[in-house]
């Protein structure tokens, strides 16, 4: 596999993971702040 393409793919994968974790964390905070 082309190393450049592989690195490019993993960079996007890391970004997706980070965004997903941030979104889940934000949702947890909102859930804890909301009554009930």
Q: What angle do CA 7, 11, 6 make, to 5 degrees?
A: 25
Task: Please report which residue ranges of 1-36 form alpha helices under DSSP H.
Answer: 3-33
Q: What pLDDT does residue 10 have?
A: 80
Residues comprising the chain, all counted: 36
Tell me the whole-structure pTM to 2 decimals.
0.54
Distance between CA atoms of 33 and 20, rounded to whole angstroms? 20
Distance between CA atoms of 35 and 29, rounded to whole angstroms? 12
Residue pLDDT, tens place only, 1-36: 667 787 888 888 899 999 999 999 999 999 999 886
- How buried is 15 (Cβ within 10 angstroms: 0-12 exposed, 13-18 middle, 19+ buried)? exposed
Q: What pLDDT does residue 30 have?
A: 94
């Amino acid at each position: 596999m082309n190393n450049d393409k592989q690195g490019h793919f993993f960079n996007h994968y890391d970004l997706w993971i980070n965004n997903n974790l941030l979104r889940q964390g934000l949702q947890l905070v909102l859930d804890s702040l909301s009554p009930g």
